[in-house]
Amino acid sequence: MPNRPPGARPGTRAELLRGPFDPGGQPELHRDKHMHLSLFAWNVSSGLSASKAVLSDPERHQEFWKWPSAAKLLRATEEAGFDSQLQYGMWSGYDGATRWNNSQLDFATAATGSAAITERIGIYTTIHVGYQIPPLLLAKMTASMDHLSGGRLGVNIVAGQNAVDYAQFGLVGPPSQQVRYAIADELVTALKHLWSSEEPVDFEGEYFQFYGAQVDPLPASRPRPLLICAAGSDIGLDFATRQCDALFITADDKDLDGYARRAAKIHAMAAEHGRKVRICAMCYVVMDETDAKAAETTEWMRSQIDRDALEVWLTRSGHIMNSERQEVTEDQFGEGRARSGANQDPYLGIGKEHYESLGMGMGAYQLFGSYETVADQLIDLYESGVEQVALCFFDPHKGVQQIRDHVLPLLRKRGYNL
């Protein structure tokens, strides 16, 4: 290796630099229960709620991420019977009156704190790829998190796409989608080498190089921590089905048939590589004793959508809509919005339905209604092929209690999640 630095200790050369690569095989994806329930986005201000309704009670609806509020929420999540918590990976938020997502606990601190105060639930963290964070640093930190949690870690891989975040790291970005996923592919392969090797590793890739690198202790998980990804484009799905174990999906039309078709496509893509995947969906939940009471809350929230925050989101991150919505044009996201006048439209140029979907759940599948309605919707999602749901609530403390006291008993009564 001509580029080997002076003083590097001997290392075993990594022959594989891209996936599929699963030394020791994949983690076990079998579940004792039907649906894997995860608490999502507890570590960022307002979660998925881009509505000024959060300002009615900031402590409950906006600032639940603060410790010790978050610690209380995580303990309650475990006691309620959830299977995991999943952190939202954020480096910058979207401003507006609500300062949507502007405050956040980072991927390492949040995971480590979560592991220290819980005993059973999965600790799923999120890391961004593309900001030139060295693989050895990420491998060492995640292996330590997994050690501290007793083997409960999962790692959500995000191919960084926010130009503001690239600038925060002193970089110009984002690169093309093809390059972003090539970087993700190489990084994940490097992580797998470092997580699994008991000897120092030499790795000479296109984007990452290291020599004599070693992680000790190795992760407690066997064969390695679970890898998660949210992908919509064919390029993203190709990466995810070759390298990851759990995939978050959406469907263009948000109906159950769309989710079923999407799930079938992804299972087939993974099978081509001799791999299996778990299908997951992000869900936004507003529930109450009756459909009417839940509708009253959702109508109030819709009337309070933080339009300025959504405009910032569309400018900075709106291009990710094109992962599946190929009809979205460039004047609907990025700097082109200002020139096109889309930001002058009452619904920011994306239509009322999509505007409200972003404001109430960032485009997540919406579970709105009575406890019975939400239980039915969860069963329908499961029957369409969704095996894990990441639930985000307008009022997380209340939402977790509602799942525990009302929704889970209904699911069990109907033969699910026994």
pLDDT, residue 418, reads 65
Per-residue pLDDT in tens (0 to 9) along the chain, 418 residues: 668 899 999 999 999 999 999 999 999 998 778 899 999 999 999 999 999 999 999 999 999 999 999 999 999 999 999 999 999 999 999 999 999 999 999 999 999 999 999 999 999 999 999 999 999 999 999 999 999 999 999 999 999 888 999 999 999 988 999 999 999 999 999 999 999 999 999 999 999 999 999 999 999 999 999 999 998 889 999 999 999 999 999 866 668 999 999 999 999 999 999 999 999 999 999 999 999 999 999 999 999 999 999 999 988 876 555 555 545 556 566 676 766 777 778 888 889 999 999 999 999 999 999 999 999 999 999 999 999 999 999 999 999 999 999 999 999 999 997 6
Confidence at residue 334, expressed as pLDDT on a 0 to 100 scale: 66
Q: Which amino acid is at 223?
A: P
pLDDT for res 204: 97
Query: Which residue type occupies 230?
Result: A
Q: Residue length, the chain? A: 418
Q: 349, 337 in Cβ contact below 8 A?
A: yes
Q: How far apart are CA 170 and CA 193, in angstroms?
A: 28
The per-residue pLDDT for 327 is 53
Q: Give the integer Cα–Cα distance in Å for 360 and 254.
A: 14
What integer pLDDT is reported at residue 316 of this predicted model?
84
* pLDDT at residue 3 in the model: 81
Tokens matching residue 92? 């910058």
Instruction: Specify the amino acid at residue 325.
Output: R
pTM beyond cutoff 0.75: yes
Say what the pLDDT of residue 245 is.
98
Vertex 345: Cα angle to 322 and 299 (nearest 5): 85
Separation of alpha carbons 110 and 104, rounded Å? 9
pLDDT value, residue 268: 97
pLDDT confidence of residue 132: 94
**In whole angstroms, how far apart are CA 14 and each of 186, 275, 328?**
11, 21, 41
pLDDT at 346: 86
State how far the Cα of 139 lies from the Cα of 133, in Å rounded to an integer: 11
